[in-house]
Amino acid sequence: MSSFHTDEYVHFLHGVTPETAEKLTYSGTRFLVGEDNPAFDGVFEFCSISAGGSIGAAQRITSGAADIAINWAGGLHHAKKREASGFCYINDIVLGILELLRTYPRVLYIDIDCHHGDGVEEAFYTTNRVMTCSFHKFGEYFPGTGSQEDKGRGKGKGYAVNVPLKDGITDDSFRSVFEPVIPPKTNIPLILLGGGGYTVKNVARTWTYETACALGMDTEIDPNLPWNPYFEWFGPRYRLEVLTNNMDDLNVKDGSIDGVREAALQQLQELPCAPSVPLQDVPRESLRQHLGFGKDDEEARDELDERLAQHTRYLYDLQEDIHSSEESDAWDSDESASNARRGGRSVSSSRETAASGRKKRISLLTGQYFDVADHHDFDFDFKSGAKRRFFPCPEPRSPWEDMGGVDDAVASRMGVVRGKYGGVDLSVLMERGGRDEYLMDEGHEDEEPIEP
């Protein structure tokens, strides 16, 4: 999962529960934003099954074990690098494509879900090795992206193809725009992924028929459903096909589908020749096996990482508690300067927010737009290229800011550097970090113990 998603996001998914979601997401401002992505029991197992299926399908293709691979549990195309979106927590599609790119120079991703495949497009927006092509409903509709003006950037300019459609699209109308943009090709390795759906019985019908098409049995399959434990769900007709609706096809009614098709074809014609990608041998075994790491080594490394994380978290919590409880004359003397610093940062943050021009999010559940809290208010400050940041401080200010002057701040920092902190040897402090034993200064006996 970490080949695309950040380590801290994967770590979050591994530990989040419905009971801890409010705290771990900072009241729904990180990781699980909005009402579309609730935390539920077994979320990490669900993500592992979905992602593992798509990665496994890609490995079957690259190893030559299959020319068609299917993972109907995959297709979660809205998930972002460090955030869930639209009921998608892990982007198994991106993980599968990354696995394919280890062997193949180029990959074509075709998305026919009703919603725009924004997560996959965003992941490969600047590369010419992956072309994303999405056919989707566009307008006041989740996720609100997928305009034909979005064509990629840098080396990836032109390799993001969007075909926005309106309500009431029929089979004939869809075929009239799909086939010119995606002409039929044979003998190309293929992976089929799911993506969910709101009407369960129609999803089952669709996946069954698509499986038959992949096997070349679409003309042989019986349209009458056989008896099964869920037979009553498919009444009253009990047949494979899904009935068409009686909505007006707005794409034909206003003639917009012709302009959409022409714009997509024009974009494809303007593309240069297929990029040349140097190929190199890629080990068939996993990276862990290739490097000679055994299972015991991996478990030992994971345990060490977890212990280090506990120790570091404990140190940070202790720092914040000690400095927030200090009330001295020096603090009072610097209070005006501290207020000035806070005021300056508030103005700066407001300017950054105003200048950023962020778009509001649209909810998949309600279809309504909502505001997302600015991460500047929580001191997250993600750095470009910085992948690991396990323990962000939820407070709006740094704990060093109001310590009572530069001298006290320097003295405290030097105490840590020299191996002493609060009168306790740093090695002893690390050994007890995250355990049931708590360390307290002599002047803080009446305080509550600090939770690790």
- Quote the CA–CA distance of 425 and 422 in Å, as a whole number: 8
Residue 408: which region, alpha, beta or left (left: phi > 0; alpha: psi -120 to 50)? alpha
Q: Which residue has the tokens 């506990």?
A: 310
Could you confirm whether 78 is annotated as catalytic? Answer: yes
Task: Give the pair of three-digit tokens for residue 257.
Answer: 């589908």
430 Cβ partners below 8 Å, 6+ apart?
311, 315
- Quote the CA–CA distance of 32 and 89 in Å, as a whole number: 8
Task: Give the pair of three-digit tokens for residue 116.
Answer: 């725009």
Q: Across 144-235, where does the E strand assignment appear?
A: 160-165, 190-193
Number of H helices, E strands in the chain: 15, 9
What angle separates helix 43-62 from helix 7-15, to the nearest 10 degrees? Answer: 130
State the amino acid at position 392 in one-letter form: P
Cα–Cα distance list, 448 to 159, 366, 401, 440 (Å)? 58, 43, 24, 9
CB 194 within 8 A of CB 77: no
Q: Which of 396, 386, 380, 383 is nearest to 31 (CA)?
A: 380
Catalytic residue among 5, 77, 78, 116: 78
Task: Label the pairing between strands 160-165 and 130-137.
Answer: parallel
- Quote the CA–CA distance of 217 and 38 in Å, as a whole number: 39
* Element of type H or E holding 325: helix 295-325
Q: Which residue has the tokens 């306790």?
A: 424
Helix residue ranges, H only, 83-199: 92-101, 118-123, 171-181
- Quote the CA–CA distance of 159 and 446 in Å, as a whole number: 63
Looking at residue 358, the DSSP 8-state letter turns out to be P
Backbone angles phi, psi at 135, to 5 degrees: -105, 115
- The whole-angstrom distance between residue 246's C-alpha and the CA centroid of its chain comes to 36
- Quote the CA–CA distance of 124 and 139 in Å, as a whole number: 23
Q: Which residue has the tokens 């992949």?
A: 214
- Quote the CA–CA distance of 73 and 48 in Å, as a whole number: 11
- Quote the CA–CA distance of 67 and 188 in Å, as a whole number: 8
Active site residues: 78
